[in-house]
Amino acid sequence: MEKRIDTNAEAGLPAAPAIALPSDHPRVRSGRIGVLLMNLGTPEGTSYWPMRAYLKEFLSDRRVIEEPRWKWWPILNLIILSTRPGRKGKDYATIWNKERDEGPLKTITRSQTEQLAQRLQGFAGDRIVFDWAMRYGFPDVKSRIQHLQNEGCDRILFVPLYPQYAAPTTATACDHAFRALMEMRWQPAVRTVPAYHDDPAYIGALATSMRASLAKLDFEPQIILCSFHGMPKENLLKGDPYYCQCAKTWRLLRDALGLPEERFRMTFQSRFGPDEWLQPYTDETVKALAQGGAKSLAIVAPGFSADCLETLEELDGENREIFLHNGGEKFAYLPCLNDSAEGIDVIEALVRRELMGWA
């Protein structure tokens, strides 16, 4: 005997033509759309072993470290994973969200997802399911994709929260999602949000946020550094568009703020290893400016959608110290868009655009 099931009704969606299923057919949910926000990741704790697990996953990624395994594996396992977890754990401890016992990137990404869900509640009601995941660490991408499918999502929009495309960020996040799909018997249809480095909504939100942050200062910075996360120069020579997209963001933001190039400069931070990385380097620029007589400086990081170790500890901590110890007097770090109204405006605009035809 067959029974007729309206799977959309089970999911709280508009009625769809009933599907004839055998009486012993397992329950099936379908007709919903998943939106999965993805960011880089954060360790589960600041002590040695959580830090080691996080760094091992991160630094084992071939998208991040392109050295041959025979060369890189001994360096990673015998040297880096013996010494670096302790040092980085101390750095994370300075920015750790002690109330939630988690890194700030996790706190902010969760809030971004929750606010986005509230914003779009009237867009498609319960038809859209929102979730978030980390490329490294937890919640992991694979489990969240499975969760969305269990919730009846047969279409999923992946939202890598990287304004500028790079193989070690956007590509590896999508790689991870696609690997999860490879193991699924019944794959959902998927889309990915492209880089939004020059999107008017993004540039406008950055300009608005920067103006508000600058207005709160008790000084006017002589120079503002636009600091992006670095990458090996070799990646650029191999064809990665990251440098060019950073430069375009910098130029468009400079135009939006009406600042001359000598006052709004582009730099790159967070280099790792002995190879040449994209230049000019942020820390060296900060030191040279202070030693050259600059008394006030601000730094903004428009390559990050949320504040994290590289912004809160490295820019607002290490580079503040470099500037003040070399003759500078006034320093400010201007926060990322994070889960501010402007930040959610950007994510909402991207998601609405990419869901066209689906919702």
Which string of DSSP letters, residue by residue, matches 183-241? T-SSPPEEEEPPP-TT-HHHHHHHHHHHHHHHHTSSS--SEEEEEEE--BHHHHHTT--
Confidence at 124, pLDDT banded by 50, 70, 90: confident
Question: Using CA atoms in the order 310, 311, 317, 320, what is the torsion angle rounded to 10 degrees?
Answer: 120
Least confident of 62-66, 240-244, 294-298: 62-66
- Percentage with pLDDT > 90 across the chain: 87
Written as six digits, the tokens of 248 are 């375009």
At 233, the amino acid letter reads: K
Q: What is the pTM of this model?
A: 0.91
The sign of the CA dihedral 203, 208, 212, 217 is positive
Confidence at 359, pLDDT banded by 50, 70, 90: confident
Confidence at 2, pLDDT banded by 50, 70, 90: very low
Pairing of strands 19-22, 128-136: unpaired
How much is the CA Rg of the chain, to the nearest whole Å? 22
Mean per-residue pLDDT, 204-211: 98
Distance of CA 254 to the CA centre of its chain: 22
At 126, the amino acid letter reads: D
Pairing of strands 296-300, 264-269: unpaired
278: left (phi over 0), alpha (psi -120 to 50) or beta: beta
- Percentage with pLDDT > 70 across the chain: 92
Residue 220 in this model has a pLDDT that exceeds 50: yes
Mean per-residue pLDDT, 317-342: 98
Residue 35 in this model has a pLDDT that exceeds 60: yes
Mean per-residue pLDDT, 191-204: 98
Q: Are 193 and 159 in contact (CB under 8 A)?
A: yes
Could you identify the residue written with the tokens 């869900």? 117
Mean per-residue pLDDT, 243-260: 98
Mean per-residue pLDDT, 333-354: 97
At 143, the amino acid letter reads: S
Written as six digits, the tokens of 226 are 């636009």
Pairing of strands 296-300, 32-41: unpaired
Give the mean pLDDT of the chain. Answer: 93
Q: At what angle do helices 141-150 and 172-182 cross, to 10 degrees?
A: 50
Q: What is the pLDDT of residue 11?
A: 47
Mean per-residue pLDDT, 272-276: 86
Q: Are 168 and 270 in contact (CB under 8 A)?
A: no
Mean per-residue pLDDT, 57-71: 92
3-state secondary structure (DSSP) of residue 267: strand
Strand ranges (E), the chain: 2-5, 19-22, 32-41, 128-136, 153-160, 189-192, 223-229, 264-269, 296-300, 330-334
Q: What is the pLDDT of residue 273?
A: 81
At 110, the amino acid letter reads: R
Confidence at 15, pLDDT banded by 50, 70, 90: very low
If 0-12 CB within 10 Å is exposed, 13-18 middle and 19+ buried, where does residue 292 land?
A: exposed
Single out the residue of 40, 49, 2, 41 nearest to residue 21, CA to CA: 2
